[in-house]
Amino acid sequence: MVGSIYALIAMGVAMIYGVMNVPDFALGAKAMLGGYVAFFMMASFHQAYGAALAASIIVLAIVGLGVERWIFRPVAKAPPINGFISAFGLLLVFENFALIAFGSSYRRILSPYDREMINILGANLTMQRLLVVIIAVALMIAMHLFIRYTRLGAAIRASAQNPRGAVLCGIHTERIAGITMAIGSGLAGVAGALIGPIGMVYPSMGDTLIVKAFVITILGGMGSILGAILGGYILGLIEALGAMYISVDYKDAFAFAILVLVLAVRPQGLFGKA
Amino acid sequence: MAPRTATSVLAILGVLVLAIAAPFLVNDYLFHLLVMAVIWSILATSLNLVMGYTGLLSLAHGAFFGMGAYTSALLVTKCGWNFWATIPAAMAVAALVGVVLGVLTLRLAGHYFAVSTLSFGIVISLILEKWDDLTEGARGISSIPPPTPIPLFGLGELRFESDLARYYLALAVLILCLLFVWRLVHSAIGRALEAIRQNELLASCLGVNLVYYKLLAFSLSAAMAGLAGVLYSVYINYLNPVDAGLWNGFYAVMYVVIGGMGTFWGPIVGTVFMVTLPEFLRVFQDYRLLLLGILLIIMITFLPAGIVGGIKALWRRGMARPAASRP
């Protein structure tokens, strides 16, 4: 379940990194914004949870487009570290915007699916948790098909593999970057809206998410979308098992310890190209 | 950049006098920021050594900072060590951990290295938080005593109870660190590091031992970051696992990049600028951090080489014509 959330955000990180070469640390904050969009759609406008999810994707995709155009495009030619600083600035902007606009209190998205319990193979879980997994997996499959089989998907892959070659083939790489950013941000937004009913929505909720998403992208191999997905589930499993069999206190540390160990053996990540 | 001319010597002396006189010119809160700026400058300078001069983006410097701080504070409060004896211990611990981390991760390229150091930083702050018996966990270590007085034979002793004394202590350490970095980057080692930054492959072909020099730079830098942490612990008198967390590492990177990566003065300019900036944004109250973020984005967009880098570029443009006529 947690693995699905991680995998969604990590996919965004991997795509944006692949195409734009920017480590977008603000994606966690975008997940947070997505959570708020869903929260207000339901609390203020009394929309169904499904509509709230859709709204968080759309709003965040628009945010992503704007961010690419006004913030990352101007620094595209500077050293990569500058994109990193811009993303960091953006993180400050988003988090403090949320803090001012929505306050620091924790909010829970009241999903109708959170109270229904179901039993699968002897394990009890709420419908919401199942829903998270189903939606996340559906999105992943959709993304995979999109990237693999559509013209736009091919253009994104081309831009990631060789930006100059893509330009020579007549691909408008800047527009592709915008689209990638929109998709990545939309994925983060829906991840935030999905976790809202289980965890809580609050201004700094994106911090741990994004750090773990980065660990996953690195674990899976930078820029590899399949790696991001598998990495997300591996991390979710490791955390759950580690918390159960080793120590709850150090739950968050396993991921990072394993990352350092994996990289010491396989510097290009599990699924990365050498 | 080299202080060859009388002007630059004068400029440095001017800054030095200003730094010494500064505590008497500002109010209490600005003075606090000033002390923080000096301590952060040490951290930023240490980070610049690996980031600016060697080209390794490390996000673990917050952790080295915290480890130095914790080592010193624990040795003083729990083992009753003399403060001055804990400094080498703290630096050694930070350097040692730096070596271990370096051995594990220095082979990694670019962002892989950055994210590994980031994870490492998180592990360190988690350990500090969860290892309750040793580190007091999330409660943190409180009432860390000020540095032990140094006896000046026949002249009383040098005491460090006042904030002013600790400011001068931090300033003195900063100057020592700057001198050290200056000597280092202008030595054969510095040239080797520069070669690695510019072109790793070429450097190794020319016989530069990549692993050795990277490890050297990384551990020296970690030790210096630990030193900054020690000063922080005796100035604030309180430590908490957050002090070793990833935000400090992020901030340090931000200071270095805003000031100008790979320039000698950049880390200090960036730190002083970014530490005091929120104070000037105070009129905006709650919107302070929001504006800080926006400013950060604007600055990095229009001054990609940082403040010092930007000034140098302007300077060069201004000097280009007269220089061309010279032989």
> What is the gyration radius of the CA atoms in chain B, in angstroms?
20
To 10 degrees, the CA torsion angle through A155, A157, A158, A162?
Answer: 150
Q: Give me the pLDDT at residue A274, please.
A: 44
Q: Give me the pLDDT at residue B154, please.
A: 64
B205, B30 Cβ separation under 8 angstroms: no
Is B327 a residue whose pLDDT tops 60?
no
The alpha carbon of residue A263 is apart from the nearest alpha carbon of chain B, in Å, by 7
> What is the gyration radius of the CA atoms in chain A, in angstroms?
18
Sequence-distant (6+) residues with CB within 8 A of B14 are none
pLDDT in tens, A58-80: 888 888 888 888 878 777 777 77
Report how far residue B28's alpha carbon sits from residue B83's, in angstroms, rounded to the nearest whole number.
26
Which of A173, A145, A142, A175 has the alpha carbon at shortest distance from A159? A173
Looking up tokens 């193979």 gives A121
Confidence class for position B96, pLDDT limits 50, 70, 90: very high
Report how far residue B146's alpha carbon sits from residue A161's, in angstroms, rounded to the nearest whole number.
56
Is B324 a residue whose pLDDT tops 50?
no
pTM: 0.80
Is B322 a residue whose pLDDT tops 60?
no
Q: Does A17 touch chain B (CB under 8 A)?
A: yes
Q: Give me the pLDDT at residue B4, please.
A: 57
Q: Give me the pLDDT at residue A27, please.
A: 86
Which of B116, B61, B258, B289 has the alpha carbon at shortest distance from A90? B289
Per-residue confidence in pLDDT tens, chain A, 274 aa: 777 888 888 888 888 887 877 778 788 888 888 888 888 888 777 777 788 888 888 888 888 888 888 878 777 777 777 777 888 888 888 888 888 888 777 887 777 776 677 776 666 677 778 888 888 889 988 988 888 888 888 888 888 888 788 888 888 888 888 888 899 899 988 888 888 888 788 888 887 788 888 888 877 777 677 888 888 888 888 888 877 777 777 777 777 777 777 777 776 767 665 4
Q: Give me the pLDDT at residue B115, please.
A: 77
The alpha carbon of residue A188 is apart from the nearest alpha carbon of chain B, in Å, by 19
Nearest to A260 among B109, B111, B120 (CB): B120
- Tokens (6 digits) for A186: 């939309």
pLDDT in tens, B219-252: 999 999 999 988 888 888 788 877 777 778 888 8
- State chain B's mean pLDDT as an integer: 81
Report how far residue B101's alpha carbon sits from residue A205's, in angstroms, rounded to the nearest whole number.
29
B270, B259 Cβ separation under 8 angstroms: yes
Q: Please tell me whether residue A214 adopts helix, strand or coil conformation.
A: helix
Mutate to test the interface with A, among B103, B112, B298 (most CBs of A within 10 A): B112
Report how far residue B80's alpha carbon sits from residue A182's, in angstroms, rounded to the nearest whole number.
57
Q: Please tell me whether residue B287 adopts helix, strand or coil conformation.
A: helix
Sequence-distant (6+) residues with CB within 8 A of A156 are A15, A19, A147, A176, A179, A180
Report how far residue A95's alpha carbon sits from residue A192's, in angstroms, rounded to the nearest whole number.
14
Q: Give me the pLDDT at residue B321, please.
A: 55
Helix runs in chain A, H state only: 2-20, 27-43, 49-67, 80-102, 127-149, 151-161, 163-168, 173-195, 206-220, 225-245, 251-265
Confidence class for position B326, pLDDT limits 50, 70, 90: very low
Q: Give me the pLDDT at residue A122, please.
A: 66
Q: DSSP for A32-73?
A: HHHHHHHHHHHHTT---HHHHHHHHHHHHHHHHHHHIIIIIG
Mutate to test the interface with B, among A17, A71, A81 (most CBs of B within 10 A): A81
Which of B42, B97, B80, B72 has the alpha carbon at shortest distance from B222? B97
Q: Taking CB atoms and an 8 Å limit, are B116 and A255 in contact across chains?
A: no
Nearest to A260 among B105, B110, B287 (CB): B105
Q: For helices A206-220 and A80-102, give the axis angle rounded to 10 degrees.
A: 150
pLDDT in tens, B43-90: 999 888 888 888 788 888 888 998 888 888 888 887 878 888 888 898
Chain B hits for A17, CB-CB cut-off 8 Å, are: 111
Report how far residue B72's alpha carbon sits from residue B87's, in angstroms, rounded to the nearest whole number.
7
Q: In this structure, how many other beta carbons lie within 10 angstroms of the beta carbon of residue B289?
A: 18
- ipTM of the complex, rounded to two decimals: 0.74
Q: Which residue of B has its CA nearest to A261?
A: B104
B90, B72 Cβ separation under 8 angstroms: yes
Q: Please tell me whether residue B52 adopts helix, strand or coil conformation.
A: coil
